Structure 1
Amino acid sequence: MSKSMIIKKEVTFNATPKSVWNLISNPKMTTQYMFGCEVLSDWKIGNQIIWKGVTEDGKEIIYVKGVITDVIQGEKLSFTMFDPNIGIKDIPENYVNLTYKLTPLEKGTKLTIIQGDFSGAENAEKRFKESQGGWDMVIPLMKKLIETSNDQYKSNVKN
C-alpha cells in the first residue's frame, strides 16, 4: 500500500477573508508571488483554470492547467492541476487536487492549503517534493504581499 502524499500548509494573514480571496484569485496578485504566473478562470465549477506565465525567452506558456471542482466565494476554492510541460501523460491520474480554505479569525484569516494526493500520479515523489519546496518559497511572498497591501490601504484610509 502506498503512503499518502498530501501537502497541508496553514498560514495566518493579518487581513480580511476578502483580501485573502483576492490574493489567491486575482491575476495581478498571483503574478507577484507565484513565479510570475497569473491565474485565469471564470471561477465556475467544471470550467478551466490556468496558470499562465512567460518563459525567459519571452514566450507565453501555460505552466499549470486544471478544472474548478468547488467554489464558495470568499471561503473555499478547489481545482485539479497538471503541469503540461513536465513530460508525463495528460491523463486524469496525473492531475492532483489543490484546495484553498479561508477561515475568518478574530484578528485575520487563516488560509489552509491542501495539495495532493500525489501518490497515484506519475513521478509522484519528485512532484510532491517540488511542490512542498514551492510552497515554502511562495507562502512568505504571499504574506509579505498581503501585509504590504494592507499597510498601503491603512495609510490611504488615514489620509
Structure 2
Amino acid sequence: MNDSTFVYVTYIRTTPEELWAALTSPEFTKQYWFGVEARSEWKPGSSWQLVFPDGRIADTGEIVEADAPRRLVIKWRNEFKPEMKAEGWSRCTMALERADGAVKLTITHSIEREGSKFIEAVSGGWPRILSNLKSLLETGTLAFAAA
C-alpha cells in the first residue's frame, strides 16, 4: 500500500531545549498554533490532544517516542472532520538537530493511505504553524494572526 507523506524543514535561531519547550508547552502552543493547545505528559504511552479554544477536541493520539530535546513521535488522528477521522491514524515525527547556532526542525507527517485528505490538510497547516513558531521564538511576534 502506498502512503501519503508531508515533510517540512525549517531552521530556527534557538536552542534544542527552548524549541522542545515551545513544542510541548500548552501555554506556548496556544500562542503560535492559532489558539489550539497541545496537551500531554510527553512520555511514551501517554495520551496527546490538540484542543480548540472553545474546548472541543481537534486531534487525539498517543506519544510513541519522546527523547527530549531531540525527537518526538506522535500517533495522531483528526477528530473534528469525519472524512479525515475515517482515514485513521497518522504518524508525526519531529526531529530537532543543532545546526550552526540554530536548530533544524524536521516535521514528517505520514499516513498509510494514498491521496490522504488529512495529509493534504496538514501540508497547508504545518507551514503556517511553524512560521509562527519560528517568528515567535526569534522575534517575539507571530507571522500570522489568529484567524
Match of 1:116 among 91, 110, 119: 110
- Normalised by the length of structure 2, the TM-score is 0.86
Matches within 5 A, 1:69-88: 69-88=64-83
- Normalised by the length of structure 1, the TM-score is 0.80
Q: How many residues align?
A: 140
Bigger helix fraction = 1
Unaligned runs of 5+ in 1: 150-159
Residues 8 and 83 (structure 1 numbering): CA distance in 2 closer, same or farther, change over 3 Å? same
- 2:143 match: none
Match of 2:99 among 105, 108, 124: 105
Larger Rg: 1
**TM superposition outliers: structure 1 runs of 4+ over 4 Å:** 88-91
SS at match of 1:70: strand
SS at match of 1:6: strand
SS at match of 1:94: coil
Contact 2:29 2:38 in 1 (8 A): yes
Q: CA RMSD in A?
A: 1.9
Unaligned runs of 5+ in 2: 141-147
Q: How far apart are 1:18 and its partner, in Å?
A: 0.8
**Does 1:12 pair with 2:11?**
yes
One-letter amino acid of the structure 2 residue matched with residue 141 of structure 1: N
One-letter amino acid of the structure 2 residue matched with residue 94 of structure 1: G
